[in-house]
Structure 1
């Protein structure tokens, strides 16, 4: 990640006080967060909690990429949006939330539709990417760009009462996206939230886990979910970790 060692303002020292006194984290890790640049693809159910916790933690620059607008059906799970934001672009709504939560950081809203030509130049400016999108076409595009540019990819997915999170980092020795999502798979094989529904808190659990994986990768603290997928079953209150 970035090697810059920025100092903290008095306001930042107060804001991040609980992390600065955390044994095994402290000022060195907080400096890495401040120097980090993170891209979140998707400002929906997963991108919302990930954004909230990464902004709160003090990631120095966060870009939010989405091409959708806020609708009332989003509000039960997409926690950065409100009724007042219905009709706004999701990136604009998300940026308003994040800047209100933490004015010390830089928020970059990117209202755009991804394609193979524009994603690489966007991702090149960031240290890692979180993918909270809901279709395999976009997921594969993000994964291909991350692998080409050797950027860690934190991937989350949810459906109905369950969800999963993993980290793809082939440049660090882990398996690629195709190891978990075979090339033969398509969106018709996967349950969609629109057709099958989703319980809101599941997106909060998975999105928060995605934020934690990003913090681990930025700071070098802990063991990321590289080559492992963590599955959450909300009905049984059970987590299962599988290697792949």
Structure 2
């Protein structure tokens, strides 16, 4: 898809991208033409939405059916105390538009399920999943695979997080999470907690992978999982 030329305002806004070797005008044009869906506007979706909006993704979809709770604000940094009780999707739109009015935001304030995931995702080129349960993550992954859409997937628990990319032709979500895996086997954030800045690290890495996929920069995490141990300040990687 070819986007419209950058306006003088956009040229100033994205000046640090335009002078960046490997990105330049071509990369910024690719970002402007991109249609990206973020599923989940919580701990991982918050930094992903912030950096994708700031980077100039032309169309940013936000899917989340939940409302803001006070306990969310320790890590979901695009929302505010004044927004408690407000739709997370609408709050995320308000943040993204205030940060960058050049971005077109589309809201999907509904739960993403196996029944509607493909219909929601069909209008986008790339999907980021920051949800916190395997049922939704499997539905998103299955739809992305069926539609041949790249999927950037992140997860966090307590002090640790991980991010990976599932792309057409490469290893898929089911290769990493077998059908036998269940949410009952995984600790929930409500029970075990999660360190706030950890979600910022992983969500920002998700935005980075999305930008790489859109612009062709670097080597995306396709078939690889990047893990982060916040207590030990260590990154590690494994292939699958």
- Whether TM exceeds 0.5 here: the answer is yes
Query: What is the match of residue 70 of structure 1?
Result: 68
Q: CA deviation at 1:117?
A: 2.5
Per the TM alignment, residue 177 of structure 1 is displaced from its structure 2 partner at its CA by 0.7
Determine if the alignment matches structure 1 residue 124 to structure 2 residue 125: no
1:93-120 deviation per Cα after TM superposition (whole angstroms, max 9, x unaligned):
1100000000011011210112222211
Give CA deviations for 1:27-63 in whole Å, capped at 9, x if unaligned. 0000000000000000000000000000000000001
Instruction: Say how many residue pairs are matched.
Output: 240
Deviation at 1:191, TM superposition (A): 1.4
Structure 2 residue aligned with 1:180, among 176, 182, 195?
176
**1:149-164 mapped onto 2 (5 Å cutoff):** 149-164=147-162
Corresponding position of 2:106: 108
**Runs of 4+ deviating beyond 2 Å:** none
Shift of 1:74: 0.3
- Summarize the alignment of residues 52-63 of structure 1 with structure 2, pairs less than 5 Å apart: 52-63=50-61
**How far apart, CA to CA, are the structure 2 residues paired with 1:51 and 1:26?**
22
Shift of 1:176: 1.1
Using structure 1 for the length normalisation, give the TM-score: 0.97
Match of 1:15 in 2: 13
Corresponding residue for residue 228 of structure 2: 232
Q: Distance in 2 between matches of 1:189 and 1:100?
A: 40
Please give the secondary structure, in 2, of the residue aligned with 1:109: strand
CA distance in 2, matches of 1:116, 1:230: 27
Partners of 2:113 and 2:174 lie apart in 1 by 19
Instruction: Report the equivalent of 1:200.
Output: 196
SS at match of 2:236: strand
**CA positional deviation for 1:121:** 1.3
Aligned with residue 222 of structure 1, among 218, 223, 237:
218
The normalised TM-score by structure 2 is 0.99
Provide the alpha-carbon RMSD of the alignment.
Answer: 0.7
Partner residue, 1:4:
2
In structure 2, distance between residues paired with 1:116 and 1:136: 12
Q: Which runs of 5+ in 2 are unaligned?
A: none
Deviates more, 1:21-30 or 1:4-13: 4-13
The aligned residue for residue 48 of structure 1 is 46
CA distance in 1, matches of 2:160, 2:194: 8
